[in-house]
Chain A
Amino acid sequence: MPQLSCQDLTLGYEGKAVASGLSFTVGAGDYLCIVGENGCGKSTLVKTLLRLKAPMAGQVVVGDGLRPGEIGYLPQQTVVQKDFPASVREVVRSGCLNRCGLRPFYNRAEKQMAEENMDRLGVSSLAKRCYRELSGGQQQRVLLARALCATRKILLLDEPTAGLDPKVTAELYALIGRLNDEGITIVMISHDVGASVRYASHILHIGKGSALFFGTKAAYLESEAGRAYADVGGGQA
């Protein structure tokens, strides 16, 4: 049974549909890339998968024993109010919270994991800084470290490389690839066609109002939608 499956999902806000007819499945260990134009409903889809938002029609079935406490998530935008006092370490550690259950404090393993993930994303030197006072790219890395702390089975990333410099971007793709090799399912929204095609096992392409394509990467490259999109992407694949 797949970890996530959607049948004829319709997404929308306040009665107005954004995208409809989305049907796809995500199995354990898959690497799904969601591509599509700005405003086609990619972020909305991820929020619906996470149950932050109810679908207008259809449903998201969670299977394979996937529980909410095993999910990691990187939002596209995190609106944090001005002068929110939060140090980088506090933010990253908060990703471990879904492992705590009712235990009120983080244990040593969780603190250790937070440090490791800060190391992986090169923000260890910022640990004591105030989150709000970092640059956009630095904030993105902190939130990625937090998402990694929360992940046990599946990681949903909404444009993880937005705002990152090329070196960190390349490192990030390699890191996500390694996590996927370790068996963690990846669902990633990306505008980087080259990278999507290089790393993904499956592609979901959302067009204006409905799904254009869902299937394996190989099938996508053969398809009409895939060829058109890859051409625009400059043939980096």
Chain B
Amino acid sequence: MMEVADKLFLYLEYPFVRYALIVGVLIALCSSLLGVTLVLKRFSLIGSGLSHVAFGATAVAAAMSLTNNYVLVLPVTIACAVLLLRTGQNTKIKGDAAVAMISVGALAIGYLIMNVFSESANLSGDVCATLFGSTSILTLTVAEVWLSVALSILVIAVFLLFYHKIFAVTFDEDFSTATGVRAQVYNLVFAVAIAVIIVLAMNLVGALLISALVIFPALSAMRVFKSFRAVTVCSVVVSVVCAVLGLLVSIVAGTPVGSTIVAVDIGGFALFSVAGLIARRL
């Protein structure tokens, strides 16, 4: 036990570990904030579709040897988010098909581009890193850390400012529109925020695992709590705790960061499911 603690303190001396923790906590916080709404809007799939788009855009950025791939990845993902959330509103089946189309399409094109244009000697390693995030979070530059912090704070601010509106529009879009709340505007704001979070989260858990980060904490909280505020607060706490635990475990045990965090999230979900069952029995 002491040994593990010593090792941990040793690692915490390194700035890159501290950066990883800061950015990890912020990303976990933001993704769970938006995750509740995403799950309730039945848009869980869109989250995973968007992460594939981000993967494709990353591949293109790499092929173009952009020094800062956010310049490309962020706008592309935001554009797709706006498109998908818009079609997903009224025409259910079309929306579903559109999500599937864009997500597998982006995945295939992304891999193709990486294969054709990559000069790297370790292609499968690169692909694996983008898909599963292996160690990206531990190799962040100071500029990336600041960008992540700024974007996370922006997302949190937007969520707090629009909290009641997001609730009302998610609960009953028709009523909101009928009574003069500009539902379309808030859906747009929400789409942009979700895209930003997905691009950020690629660093933490990689493209394929982002949905887990978004969905598990929300579902865990919904097992036990019954009001929107309680669910939101609880999912944030669950998400942050799981992210920190997962990061620390992966640093000490040398496991891949993304999958470790998701494994802890799954554990959290199991725990809350049991707690929910017990609470209902009482």
Q: Which residues of A contact B (CB under 8 A)?
A: 47, 50-52, 67-73, 75, 78, 80-81, 83-87, 90-91, 93-95, 97-98, 100, 104-106, 128-130, 133, 146, 150, 156
Of chain B, the residue at the smallest CB distance from A79 is B172
Known: A75-B174, A80-B171, A84-B40. A104 touches B162 (CB 8 A): yes
Q: How far is the CA of A81 from the CA of B41 in the complex (A)?
A: 9
Main secondary structure of the interface of B (DSSP, over half): helix
Known: A81-B42, A85-B227. A97 touches B222 (CB 8 A): no
| Nearest-Cβ distance from residue B197 to partner chain A, whole angstroms | 20
**Most chain B CB inside 10 Å of its own CB: which residue of A68, A80, A129:** A68
14 new A-B contacts at CB < 8 Å, known A85-B36, A94-B176? A50-B178, A51-B177, A70-B180, A71-B178, A78-B174, A85-B222, A87-B229, A94-B171, A97-B164, A97-B165, A98-B181, A104-B163, A104-B164, A150-B175
| Nearest-Cβ distance from residue B279 to partner chain A, whole angstroms | 12
When the two chains form the complex, which single residue of B36, B40, B176, B226 contacts A87, counting CB atoms closer than 8 Å? Answer: B226
Q: How far is the CA of A97 from the CA of B171 in the complex (A)?
A: 13
- B109 beta carbon closer than 8 Å to chain A: no
Count of residues in B whose CB is under 8 Å from the partner chain = 30
- B122 beta carbon closer than 8 Å to chain A: no
- B16 beta carbon closer than 8 Å to chain A: no
- B76 beta carbon closer than 8 Å to chain A: no
Task: Tell me which residues across on chain B come within 8 A of A146, comparing CB atoms.
Answer: 175
Known: A81-B42, A87-B226, A130-B226. A73 touches B160 (CB 8 A): no
| Nearest-Cβ distance from residue B40 to partner chain A, whole angstroms | 6
- B167 beta carbon closer than 8 Å to chain A: yes
| Nearest-Cβ distance from residue B30 to partner chain A, whole angstroms | 18
Q: How far is the CA of A73 from the CA of B176 in the complex (A)?
A: 9
When the two chains form the complex, which single residue of B160, B177, B221, B227 contacts A52, counting CB atoms closer than 8 Å? Answer: B177
A104, B179: Cβ atoms closer than 8 Å: no
Q: How far is the CA of A51 from the CA of B40 in the complex (A)?
A: 25
- B70 beta carbon closer than 8 Å to chain A: no
A97, B163: Cβ atoms closer than 8 Å: no
- B168 beta carbon closer than 8 Å to chain A: yes
A95, B227: Cβ atoms closer than 8 Å: no
